[in-house]
A and B are shown apart, each in its own frame.
Chain A
Amino acid sequence: MRIRLDPWPVDTQDGQLTLKPFAGLVFDAETDLWAAIPTRGIPERMRRILVVDGKPRMEARLLLDDGAGALSVAGFGAFVVGAVDLCPHGSRQAQLQGVSARRVLAYSGDAPLEVARLSPRNPHSGVLEYQPHAFAGAQVEGARAAVQTLMLRREQAMSAELASPLPLDETDVDALPDTLVLQDGPVRPGEAGRAVVGYVKTLHTDYLGADRIGLLTALRPGERTPVLRFKLGDRGDGAGEGREQRFTWYVRLCDAPFYQHPLAGVMRLEMHAPEDTDFVPRGVQDIADLSGALLCRLASQPHKDPRAPQNLIPTAALEQAMGRAMGSAEMVTRRIRAHLAGQYGSRVVA
């Protein structure tokens, strides 16, 4: 028995590696030859990379009392979605784009709530404004899920809006877009036809099977596997018929240190695939070819980021900026307390 480290710190939600076998069918899309493909580098035409991420936060759990004795749950929450705009050739400064916090008063129930406006205690700190948002159901965690959903929706809208269009047919020679969006996590419905790549930092699902996974260990930094195709939600029972098709491939960002498991430093990428075709469109092919070079450039260092190399350099900066945009959680909680105390006439404030 050999013991190896999962590279990610223990306080992250999951390890980097779980490898539950994928139940459905996975097809070779690019080639039948299961061998490493070297990167082709980043072509000059690719001018702009946008790394999109989002961050939710719950700021207070609330109980609403309608005066007639009926209780319902609600919560003050906030989320930020933003992007880092960078040039893959390093010809200009990376910039944050659209990083601003939105605040949500998520509640269950039918009676509509008004905007909650938390006025500042002195003129030099800003107003906090919580937009009401109703969710169905009465679960305690409903508010959190509602904020999360809003964030994902916004993230997806942002990715789709920023990315270049990407024709998903076989022939277009000018397919390579000039603006590519890297989005944290798998791609989402609604982004098809745009140059959006989802990057999955963890390897929780094994799409390869025992006979093919060995190639991941053999990949050298920058190299990738051939592109595969699968159907989202395919459980092998035919129930997923008609659901979205995805392309996926794996890229190694760095050599795994000897004490970590051999798949450390491998990332899975995902893009939308056209319905029921067995070719890889030119645009997807080009993006797969440049992905090794691009991700090796963006990969972070273990001494700077505990989730290196998968947590990319711009992502870490973006996470920090998003945390800052939401403000200090402690201060916000106090403001909420002071606001409620002020509203209900008590002199007791935070």
Chain B
Amino acid sequence: MVLGTEDATPVTFWFAVSPGASVQMDDLVVVETRKPDGQMVRFYGLVDHVRTRHEGVTFDSDVADVVAGLLPASVSYAARVLVTRVSPENFIPPQPGDSVQHARGEDLRIALSADKMKRAFPGGLLADGQVLPVNYQFVNGESGGHINISGISGVATKTSYALFLLHSIFRSGVLDSRHEGHATRALIFNVKGEDLLFLDKPNKEVEGVERGVRAAKNLPQGRYDLLGLPMSPFQDVQFLAPPREGGSGVIVPNVEQRLGGVTPFVFTVREFCARRMLPYAFADRNASLNLGFVIGSIEDKLARLAQGGDAPHLTVSDWKAETNALLDESVRFSELGEARIETFPQLVAYLDYKLLEENEGAGDRRWTGNQSPATLQAFIRRLRGVQKHLSPLVRGDLTAAQAEKYRPNILGGRFKTSVVDINRLGSHAQMFVVGVLLRDLFEHKERYGRQDTVFVVLDELNKYAPREGDSPIKDVLLDIAERGRSLGIILIGAQQTASEVERRIVSNAAIRVVGRLDLAEAERPEYRFLPQSFRARAGILQPGTMLVSQPDVPNPVLVNYPFPAWATRRDEVAEAVGVQETEDAGRDWLGE
């Protein structure tokens, strides 16, 4: 019953728990109150605080007398409710004495605004084993878009939850209702370990873990069954990884744990120039204004240079072999006076020549513009800095067929989910890959429109779109955050600390999820959407538990989600796949 000793308001109230009943934090409850004219108003809410105390005693030490059986006292068990919905919308307070019930069935749907959701997918299980619906229209860009997940690394399991959401979106049937399941894609960047390279393999531990959880929580069904999701790994997944360094002829993906089924990806030197990837090689934030001009003009020049050909390499006529004695022997001359640029170091050397060496150190006036030699030197110095990282990725020594085969193909093909493994790349190369792929994706969607949603999963947003400073990747991410939802690109971003990510990216996310947070971090303004009691609790959340805030429900809801049905580590892969995998690996080595 609603308490009369605490204020009851339309947004929050306390209620007393009857003897024998129990209520825990995060339970959803409903209260019905009658207006003087007889109309009923129902309040739906979430329990965010529970407490017990001895009632009618004055001193703390009275507890000893109560326990000794001398002092009569009753235990007051009360809970505080944050109202999530008032129906109909009459913002009168509930009356003391109104009876409070657990919200179940239809009440639960209303409490979570599920009745307002035309299309929803399960976002996890509530504390009492009921399903939290997440409004798909706030995910796919119709009413809102983007998901942002914050939490301490390791215990917050941000990536696991992002993958669970993807699994739920793909497999819950929400896509079929829109007839778009066949064309919806996901692009996942793997930035840590090789965990995500086994998404298509069943997890041998999932059944045991889920059985244990079901018994411990006394659930009527397994969690996957409750959620209505198959306990199976991802389907139609392709794995992309950058090639191993060295190895001139065969291109082998640079992965350790997974032996087969990983496709290497490279960009050709011509693509690098034609598709203006140069800025993404300069991802550091403190580029000066002048350097920006140089990058812009060189990018332009390279793009022009790359026109009129389709070979993976570039051909230049104004560069003599003897002018650059540093070049290795792989420089081949097809004709007199023409040089092929087949590797990234050669491209750098060519630029070095055009900017700093030609005309006895003055450079080619058309290339240098009016920039001071110091700026040009800075440009070359930086380019040489990233040369080591980018040379395996940007190559010209391929056949046209190879170039076609190893070009990352995310939107076409039969694969719904693409995992791009960049964890072994240096941070410059990671930025380059993320920036280039997202930019391509964005430009593609700008041309073809929004009908097919693409989900981009990217961890460590604070690295790619830091609050301070500028970088070309941040520009792409900002574009996605601000315009992406109208184009059908949905960013499922994650970071340890939302306070260090560009504000516009976080604030554009319609759905915000918080796992375990550092308590100091939880007090920052980025988490104001959490009520105070939730901010305090964010410090004690266990792995597998998340606070989910969505626009339809004014208060965040605590959910847990099942153990991944896909392997997240090499040793979780069910054994049966071993032989096939070895064969696949052999075929890869043979270059098939």
Contacts and interface: CB of A to CB of B under 8 A. Distances in A.
A313 B69 contact: no
Interface stretch (B70-78, B120-128, B279-287, B459-467): B70-78
Nearest to A89: B69
Contacts of B56: 317, 320-321, 324
B551 interface: no
Interface in A195-238: none
Given A93-B66, A94-B66, A124-B97, A304 B72 contact: no
A95 B72 contact: yes
Interface string B40-80: 00000000000000001111011001111111110000000
Interface in A61-112: 84-87, 89-96
The secondary-structure label for the interface of chain A is mixed
Interface residues of B, number: 19
Nearest to B36: A122
B87 to A, nearest CB: 22
28 contacts: A84-B72, A85-B72, A86-B70, A86-B72, A90-B67, A90-B68, A90-B69, A93-B66, A93-B69, A94-B69, A94-B70, A95-B72, A124-B95, A124-B96, A124-B97, A297-B68, A298-B70, A303-B59, A304-B58, A304-B61, A313-B65, A313-B70, A313-B71, A317-B56, A317-B71, A317-B73, A320-B56, A324-B56
B6 to A, nearest CB: 15
A318 interface: yes
A106 to B, nearest CB: 30
A-B pairs, top 9 by smallest CB distance, nearest first, are: A94-B72, A90-B69, A90-B68, A96-B72, A313-B70, A94-B69, A124-B97, A84-B72, A317-B72
A314 interface: yes
A298 B352 CA distance: 97
B58 A314 contact: no
Contacts of B69: 86-87, 89-94
B208 to A, nearest CB: 44
Given A90-B68, A317-B73, 7 more contacts: A85-B72, A86-B70, A87-B69, A91-B69, A92-B69, A304-B58, A317-B72
A313 B65 CA distance: 8
Contacts of B67: 90
Nearest to B75: A93
B263 to A, nearest CB: 70
Interface of B: 4, 56-59, 61-62, 65-73, 95-97
Contacts of A317: 56-57, 71-73
Nearest to B58: A304
Q: Which of B61, B67, B73 has the most CB of A within 10 A?
A: B73
Nearest to B68: A90
B33 to A, nearest CB: 10
A306 to B, nearest CB: 12
Interface in A306-350: 313-314, 317-318, 320-321, 324
A96 B70 CA distance: 11
A144 B57 CA distance: 30
A110 B65 CA distance: 50
Contact of A314 (B59, B71, B96): B71
A320 B73 CA distance: 11
A208 B65 CA distance: 34
Interface string A146-162: 00000000000000000
Contacts of B95: 124
A209 B286 CA distance: 101
Contacts of B61: 304
Contact of A297 (B57, B70, B73, B96): B70
Contacts of B68: 90, 297
Q: Which of A86, A96, A317, A320 has the most CB of B within 10 A?
A: A317
Nearest to B2: A124
A295 to B, nearest CB: 12
Contact of B72 (A89, A124, A318): A318
Contacts of A85: 72
A298 B65 CA distance: 9
Contacts of B70: 86, 90, 94, 297-298, 313-314
Contacts of B97: 124
A62 to B, nearest CB: 30
Interface string A123-144: 0100000000000000000000
Contacts of A84: 72
B579 to A, nearest CB: 68
A249 B222 CA distance: 71
A84 B59 CA distance: 19
Nearest to B4: A124
Contacts of A87: 69
B75 to A, nearest CB: 10
B96 A93 contact: no
A86 B66 CA distance: 10
A89 B68 CA distance: 8
Contacts of A303: 59
Nearest to B72: A94
A313 B69 CA distance: 10
Contacts of A304: 58-59, 61-62
Contacts of A320: 56
Q: Which of B61, B72, B73 has the most CB of A within 10 A?
A: B72
A303 B58 CA distance: 11
Contacts of A96: 72
Contacts of B58: 304
Nearest to A303: B59
B90 to A, nearest CB: 17
Contacts of B71: 94, 313-314, 317
Nearest to B62: A304
Nearest to B95: A124
A321 B96 contact: no
A256 B56 CA distance: 29
A124 B73 CA distance: 25
Contacts of A124: 4, 95-97
A340 B65 CA distance: 45
Contacts of A90: 67-70
A304 B65 CA distance: 12
A86 B67 CA distance: 11
